[in-house]
Chain A
């Protein structure tokens, strides 16, 4: 079963506004990652935050992690029409040399020009 769930399921904003997506999970993690998927394409890794980190930035992306609440948020600032895509969080658990990712159901972001 999927143990990472994003909300909202869909988000529609105007270009230039900020977009915030949330992710909750149920079990422990080694790290948490966010991915982006354009329609009909593969996923692209955006950012990784380790379990001992609370906040991380990459360009217009800001990710927070609260392990006590088992939640993470992804903020995209000054959104652009090209940011329109589905965004997924993935809980990462190390199991020997394997790296198991459990994906949430995603947030569909639409940025209107």
Chain B
């Protein structure tokens, strides 16, 4: 069966510090991978998606970046965090060229102080 892992679960970082959030998927190959951000009490905002290694599409211009160094690994990064980067970050995967059903990780709660 497929599983998706995210870490860390929670993170408190000062403004201006770097960020690295990691997501890995097990039990499937060639997945579509996604990063979302969710503000408190709100819906999900798609940040990045990837259909293959090294292929990243950005949906929202910001100071975040994403990379996919391996088939089942998706990393969200920032060189300098802003207060507005605080939120709940969710990674998800779906079957490549499937119907679009997405499977979500447990999320990372990021607080920037």
Contacts and interface: CB of A to CB of B under 8 A. Distances in A.
Q: Do A and B come from one complex?
A: yes
Contacts of B90: 42-43
Interface residues of B, number: 29
Task: Please classify the interface of chain B as helix (H, G, I), strand (E, B), loop, or mixed, using the class held by over half of its residues.
Answer: strand
Contacts of B97: 97, 99
B43 A106 contact: yes
A48 B101 CA distance: 8
Secondary structure dominating the interface of A: strand
B43 A105 contact: yes
A65 interface: no
What are the 10 tightest A-B residue pairs by CB atom distance, in nearest-first order? Answer: A42-B104, A99-B100, A92-B100, A103-B44, A105-B43, A103-B43, A97-B97, A43-B104, A97-B51, A42-B106
Given A97-B97, A98-B57, 15 more contacts: A2-B45, A33-B100, A42-B107, A43-B92, A45-B103, A88-B43, A92-B100, A96-B51, A97-B51, A98-B32, A99-B99, A103-B36, A103-B44, A104-B43, A105-B42
